[in-house]
């Protein structure tokens, strides 16, 4: 009796295993048929490429680094070379502002001196060479001149902000317009902007 019991148990186990294998085969066939019925699989669409942000850089110094002496009042007061990149294709003009927000209020109540204002530069402009008169129109700086004024901090190291704006229009502004007038006229037309910061401390301040 015991021998017959074990023989019967073995047969039952073998039949169960065979049944499981058969079900797995049928499941695979069904999955393959469904896949074929759905047609060839296509690769998912790649993620859209985000356009690179507009940039303003200088071959003379890195962002938040010291401006070389030749571009300051300690040197030759040459205008600083600048590079523009990734300007939006839809831009119609570029504007540039250079200012210093670290002026002692005892000298200038606003605490900000404007060094350079340029607008209506062609949107295709990619660089301003050293001491180059920029394309477009120059506005008045803090000294009332339509020109570049070199860094010349009176007391300590100052920060000099170079701000580039890409606009969707040419601006109806005359030569000699101020930074405030430029900012008011640009309102609603800015499609991209970028910033570069240079540092400088006059030699006499370091003694």
Query: Does the residue 144 lie in any domain?
Result: yes
| Number of folded domains that form the chain | 1
Whole-model pTM: value is: 0.75
E strands, the chain, are 55-57, 65-66, 82-85, 93-100, 113-122, 127-128, 137-138, 158-167, 190-200
Query: Does the residue 157 lie in any domain?
Result: yes
Q: Positive or negative, the Cα torsion across 50, 53, 54, 59? A: negative
> What is residue 206's predicted lDDT score, i.e. its pLDDT?
82
Query: Does the residue 45 lie in any domain?
Result: no
Query: Does the residue 143 lie in any domain?
Result: yes
Query: Does the residue 7 lie in any domain?
Result: no
Query: Does the residue 61 lie in any domain?
Result: yes
Query: Does the residue 35 lie in any domain?
Result: no
68-92: per-residue pLDDT in tens? 999 999 999 999 999 999 999 999 9
CATH assignment of the domain containing 66: 3.90.280.10
147-201: per-residue pLDDT in tens? 999 999 999 999 999 999 999 999 999 999 999 999 999 999 999 999 999 999 9
Domain that holds residue 72: 55-206
Residue reference for tokens 């701000």:
163
Query: Does the residue 84 lie in any domain?
Result: yes
């Amino acid at each position: 009796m015991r021998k017959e019991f074990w023989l019967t148990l073995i047969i039952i186990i073998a039949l169960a295993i065979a049944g499981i294998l058969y079900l797995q085969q049928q499941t695979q066939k069904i999955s393959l048929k469904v896949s074929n019925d759905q047609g060839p699989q296509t690769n998912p669409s790649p993620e859209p490429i985000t356009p690179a942000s507009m940039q303003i850089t200088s071959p003379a110094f890195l962002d938040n680094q010291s401006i070389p002496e030749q571009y300051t009042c300690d040197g030759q007061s040459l205008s600083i070379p600048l590079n523009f990149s990734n300007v939006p294709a839809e831009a119609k003009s570029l504007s540039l502002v250079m200012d210093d927000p670290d002026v002692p209020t005892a000298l200038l109540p606003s605490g900000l001196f404007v060094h350079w204002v340029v607008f209506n530069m062609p949107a295709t402009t990619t660089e301003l060479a050293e001491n180059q008169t920029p394309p477009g129109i120059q506005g008045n700086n803090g000294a009332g001149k339509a020109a570049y004024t070199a860094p010349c901090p009176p007391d300590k190291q100052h920060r000099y902000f170079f701000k580039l704006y890409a606009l969707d229009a040419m601006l109806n502004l005359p030569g000699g317009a101020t930074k405030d007038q430029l900012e008011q006229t640009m309102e609603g037309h800015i499609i991209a902007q970028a910033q570069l910061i240079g540092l400088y401390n006059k030699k006499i301040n370091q003694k």
